[in-house]
Amino acid sequence: MTANDTYDAIVIGGGPNGLTCAAYLARAGRKVLLLERRHETGGGLNTDEYHGFRLNLHAIYHMMNERMPVHRDLDLPGLGVRYLFPAAPAAFVFRDGHALVFSRDAGETARAIAALSPRDAAAFGRMWGEFQPMLEQYLIPMTYEPPAGALDQLTEFNKTAIGRRLAEISDLSFVELIDRYGFTDPRVRMALLAFPAMWGLHLDAPLGFLYPLYLCRMLAAGLVKGGSHRLSSAIFRSFIRNGGTVLDACEVTRIVMENGRAVGVEVAGGQRFDARAVVSTLNPEQTFLQLVGEPALPGELRHAVQGWQWEDRTMFGLHLGIQGAVTFRHPDARVGEAMIVFCGLDTDDELHMHLQRVDAGTERDCQWLHVTVPTRFDATMAAPGHQLVRAEAVVRYDQSWPARAPAFGDSCLRLLRQYADLGEIVLRRHHTPVDIEAKLTTMKRGSIKHGAYTTLQLGYLRPNEWCSRSQTPIPGLFVGGASMYPGGMILGGSGFLAAGTVKGFLEQN
């Protein structure tokens, strides 16, 4: 390959969205170059092996799993992807001796809630019954369609009764939504609010339309057998099979502009690659301010990008390799079999106070953890006789994390030990917000979705009204990462949508 090779498309960033976009374009017969800054592709789908333990340092819970178009279109099962679906997706352990175990079967979950509060079980049944058609008719298909403007969306919702109901809850906060459905038990309310809260979402923001996704798809979430990286390597294989080219350890430093058009990229070391379309899956600051450069940006786009809001909550991960067993002490055996065990908080008031302390930066010790023992479901994640523990806490970003990590990690461990007996710890790693942004520069300030979820940064406005349909005001430049509609997480959405837009562009140009 020479520096002057010309491609149909260059994709910047080999995370789940970049890989997806590149793989679809290659499958459509296009000549595609994928450029990745790290030594390997995968982005948030990395799985790192330390002394025989396979750590998913970033994404582990796959909410859309087999519902992602990429799963079917690229035959990911044929390329080795297998999802594991634990029967109990989540369990909450309370200090009063009770536990609440959520099952993949909604009836079973309602019965578990009824043991705490029959009234809340009835509310859950009503809510679940409404959420299913909302998801099937609207929310899941919408994830893989270009976003509609607010008025068009409302017109569409108004055509059906369930659409009108979705419109009604869309502007509610998560707390208002739980109130409206009539939940009263503080333990049940805490559990229901934990599903969006664990991702750093604000419980009082008017983002009600996200709730069915964050509740129902988390309860349908799967783990990738062998580690999340297996998903990215399958998409990678599809890309290569279809003639794609990957350069890893290759950081893009500039998007090359000629006569107001994006015509290629320059990488560290100065090499240049040309293409008819350049797709960036990086965050808006990187794409527009750093790689294109402010002088080349239309004023309104420059203002929009300068005002981009990062997430103010992120995650601290404590990853443990254990020789021997990990046993949750609760007498209900299903707690130990749950995919995620939440521990530390008992009521919704405690959750609110905890999040206030996180936001104020006054939480010094860990108060709330969600814990997964991947080896419980997948023995390939560690050597025989060993277990892997992933414990995560919602925290605020600041630069002091590397210094604070050992003490905060100790407090996570103390909290975990109140609920579980651990064998001998033979591996301990902290993954702090500073580590997150160091590993994936896209996740500035530990922003796991490449930018906050606010009403002004979602739907048709993500990342802004000019770019949410993958096109940008700059001819030849497209966006397709988590900062674009539909957003972050392993949804397989933004990269899929960008591929569709770029395919159309290439056919016409």
Ligand X SMILES: Cc1cc2nc3c(=O)[nH]c(=O)nc-3n(C[C@H](O)[C@H](O)[C@H](O)COP(=O)(O)OP(=O)(O)OC[C@H]3O[C@@H](n4cnc5c(N)ncnc54)[C@H](O)[C@@H]3O)c2cc1C
Binding residues (CB under 6 A) for ligand X: these are 12-18, 35-38, 43-44, 58-61, 63, 251-252, 281-282, 315, 317, 436, 440-443, 448-449, 481-482, 488-490
What does the radius of gyration of the chain's CA atoms come to, in whole angstroms? 22
Of the pair 321, 488, the CB lying nearest ligand X is at 488
- Minimum Å gap between C-beta 450 and ligand X is 6
Least distance CB 423 / ligand X (angstroms): 25
Instruction: Considering the complex, state which of residue 265 and residue 301 has its C-beta at the smaller distance from ligand X.
Output: 265
We find the least distance from the C-beta atom of residue 446 to ligand X, in angstroms, to be 7
Distance in Å, CB of 448 to ligand X, minimum: 4
Measured from the CB atom, the residue of 330 and 449 that comes closer to ligand X is: 449
Q: How far is the CB of 204 from ligand X (least distance, A)?
A: 23
If the CB atoms of residues 123 and 458 are measured against ligand X, the closer one turns out to be 458
CA nearest neighbour of 485 among 507, 505, 503, 500:
500
Tokens of 161: 């009764």
- The side-by-side arrangement of strands in the sheet containing 99-102 is 99-102, 90-93, 340-343, 369-372, 386-396, 313-328, 420-431
Structure tokens at 395: 């925290």
The residue (of 229 and 503) whose beta carbon lies closer to ligand X is 229
**DSSP assignment, residue 253?**
E
Least Å from the CB of residue 349 to ligand X: 27
The neighbour count for residue 116, using CB atoms within 10 Å, is 20
For ligand X, the closer of residues 92 and 214 by Cβ is 214
**What does the block give as tokens for 85?**
């679906």
Helices 186-197, 106-116: axis angle to 10 degrees equals 140
Minimum distance from residue 84 beta carbon to ligand X (Å) = 14
Closest to ligand X by CB, 100 or 339:
339
Which helix (DSSP H) or strand (DSSP E) does residue 353 occupy?
helix 348-360
Amino acid letter, 436: I
Specify the residue, 163 or 446, whose C-beta has the smaller distance to ligand X. 446
Between residues 33 and 93, which has the closer beta carbon with respect to ligand X?
Answer: 33
Could you give the 3-state DSSP secondary structure of residue 62?
strand
- Nearer residue to ligand X within complex by CB, 61 or 144: 61
Q: Are the C-beta atoms of 27 and 506 separated by less than 8 Å?
A: no
Least distance CB 466 / ligand X (angstroms): 19
Query: Residue for token digits 């705490």?
Result: 116
Q: Is 95 exposed, middle or buried (0-12, 13-18, 19+ CB in 10 A)?
A: exposed
Nearer to ligand X, 415 or 490 (CB): 490
* Pairwise CA distance, residues 162 & 159, whole Å: 9
> Minimal distance in Å, beta carbon 168 to ligand X?
27
CB 441 → ligand X: shortest distance, Å?
5
Burial of 428 (0-12, 13-18, 19+ CB in 10 A): middle
Report CA torsion sign: 8, 9, 14, 18: negative
Q: CB 393 → ligand X: shortest distance, Å?
A: 11
The sign of the torsion formed by the CA atoms of 501, 295, 262, 23 equals negative
What kind and span of H or E run contains 396?
strand 386-396
> How would DSSP label each residue in 80-132?
T--EE--S--EEEE-TTS-EEEE-SSHHHHHHHHHHH-HHHHHHHHHHHHHHH
